[in-house]
């Protein structure tokens, strides 16, 4: 046998092994606690999947709104949804419908058209068909067999600040805008309205067989939803009357963070976020669990930005409870939701040649109408549910041996438990 001599690694090998092992340990540590956080919130909602559902009732279906982050494709939003959001939804046996947009403005146009279809169905004043033939047939079949819709709050899940802006503008456009599209602007109206010159009687070439007919204009191609202008501009929200079919309260909405940072110079920040994804998984899982449980909702907060100005004598005056020269501007909570994500957006989100109000949804300022803002609400966890989540986390930490934790931590062995709905992460007791 060869004579192997054990010796101390060289300086370069020690540096290499130290850096690689430290980074690998940090990644494995973060991945372990990330899966534990998801497991905790999946256990909180897993009992809903065990509840029986009548055969003549549709399950609860939420609407998920996804759009590509600025400077990237829709794939990034889909991967974020499958990694952080889907496990909790599947654990609670939730059904969902996805509204995707491949570019800026698609989500706004799709959501506004959905609301207009609902208004046409209730009001029946528009000449356009309320729904497609396929949807009509499905509703007729469900009505014949006696299938009922879910009674209760459905919920809207919005991912990212850019999608949240489109969601708000689509909400206002659908409920405050007209049902029919506005008439398109006629370009070169003079040439269109001008009569065609009639051939002269003495012109011998007028009736010649060699004369060809003028070319017919080709029919205009229908533009995609993102390139269609909105039915109403944000500055006209306050001047529009509410439709008679508007409900007293909208379906509760939930906005989820979507941190997405691009650029080579941002590599240190991206590495830091890579090693701390457990906090994002915990925050996202908590909010999604609140949506799945739907045990408590609250209205969005309203505040005032007060900028006082001095009176004529130089000192602010007060009469009763109102200030003289005070500009009270009401600010809604919906305006600042996920606003910190804008500083991470790619520079392409702030550039563009499209001008006009309402065309650049991501770049424009959020405009909220008070009448619609009062009808909006969001989900939240109750105190009992938060305490139950902490108790489940404590039992999970104390219920495993050190060797078992080490094997799961380095992914040599999977966590015990029966998986429920696909990746539902249901524990071994089926709870």
End-to-end CA distance of the chain: 57
Q: Which residue has the tokens 């976020």?
A: 273
pLDDT score, position 411: 63
pLDDT score, position 312: 39
- Residue segments in the chain with a per-residue pLDDT below the cut of 50: 127-130, 186-211, 217, 219-220, 306-328, 416-431
Task: With CA atoms as reference, report the closest residue to 348 among 363, 359, 333.
Answer: 363
Strand-strand pairing, 297-299 and 156-159: unpaired
Q: How far is residue 15 from each of residues 9, 21, 25, 92, 267, measured CA to CA in Å?
A: 10, 10, 15, 47, 21
At 203-221, the pLDDT tens digits run 444 444 444 555 554 544 5
pLDDT score, position 327: 41
Strand partners, 344: none
pLDDT score, position 216: 54
- Helix 402-409 × helix 11-45 angle, to 10°: 100
Task: Enter the pTM of the model.
Answer: 0.77
pLDDT score, position 348: 85
Q: Which residue has the tokens 């290499």?
A: 16
pLDDT score, position 159: 96
The SS3 call for residue 50 is helix
Strand partners, 148: 57
Strands (DSSP E) found in 121-227? 156-159
Structure tokens, 350: 């702030």
Q: How far is residue 295 from each of residues 45, 80, 148, measured CA to CA in Å?
A: 11, 26, 22
In sequence order, the 6+-apart residues with CB closer than 8 A to the CB of 59 are: 53, 93, 94, 95, 150
pLDDT score, position 427: 43
CB 381 within 8 A of CB 289: yes
CA 429 to CA 431: how far, in whole Å? 5
Q: How far is residue 419 from each of residues 88, 214, 260, 402, 422, measured CA to CA in Å?
A: 12, 70, 30, 23, 7
CA 93 to CA 155: how far, in whole Å? 15
């Amino acid at each position: 046998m060869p004579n192997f001599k054990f010796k101390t690694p060289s300086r370069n090998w020690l540096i290499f092994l130290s850096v690689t092992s430290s980074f690998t340990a940090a990644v494995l540590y973060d991945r372990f606690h990330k899966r534990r956080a998801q497991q905790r919130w999946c256990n909180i909602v897993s009992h809903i999947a065990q509840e029986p559902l009548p055969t003549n009732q549709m399950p609860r279906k939420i609407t998920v709104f996804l759009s590509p982050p600025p400077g990237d494709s829709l794939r990034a939003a889909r991967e974020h949804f499958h990694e952080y959001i889907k496990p909790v939804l599947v654990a609670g046996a939730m059904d969902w419908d996805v509204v995707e947009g491949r570019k800026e403005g698609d989500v706004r146009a799709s959501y506004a058209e959905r609301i207009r279809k609902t208004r046409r169905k209730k009001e029946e004043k528009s000449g356009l068909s309320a729904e497609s033939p396929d949807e009509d047939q499905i509703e007729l079949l469900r009505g014949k067999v006696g299938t009922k819709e879910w009674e209760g709050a459905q919920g809207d899940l919005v991912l990212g600040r850019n999608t949240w802006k489109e969601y708000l503008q689509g909400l206002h456009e659908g409920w405050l805008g007209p049902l029919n599209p506005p008439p398109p602007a006629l370009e070169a109206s003079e040439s269109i309205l001008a009569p065609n010159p009639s051939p002269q009687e003495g012109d011998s070439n007028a009736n010649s067989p060699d004369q060809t007919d003028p070319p017919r204009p080709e029919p205009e191609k229908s533009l995609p939803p993102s390139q269609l202008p909105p039915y109403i501009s944000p500055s006209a929200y306050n001047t529009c009357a509410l439709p008679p079919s508007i409900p007293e309260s909208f379906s509760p909405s939930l906005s989820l963070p979507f941190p997405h940072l691009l650029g080579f110079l941002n590599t240190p920040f991206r590495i830091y976020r890579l090693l701390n994804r457990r906090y994002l998984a915990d925050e996202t899982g908590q909010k999604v669990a609140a949506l799945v449980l739907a045990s408590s909702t609250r209205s969005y907060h309203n505040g005032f930005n007060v900028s006082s100005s001095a009176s004529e004598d130089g000192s602010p005056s007060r009469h009763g409870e109102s200030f003289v020269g005070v500009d009270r501007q009401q600010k809604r909570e919906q305006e600042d939701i996920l606003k910190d994500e804008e500083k991470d957006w790619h520079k392409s989100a702030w550039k563009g040649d499209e001008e006009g109000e309402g065309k650049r949804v991501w770049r424009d300022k959020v405009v909220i109408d008070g009448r619609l803002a009062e009808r909006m609400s969001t989900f939240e966890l109750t105190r009992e549910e938060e305490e139950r989540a902490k108790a489940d986390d404590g039992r999970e930490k104390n219920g495993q041996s050190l060797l078992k934790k080490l094997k799961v931590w380095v992914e040599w062995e999977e966590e015990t438990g029966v998986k429920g709905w696909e990746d539902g992460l249901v524990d071994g007791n089926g709870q």
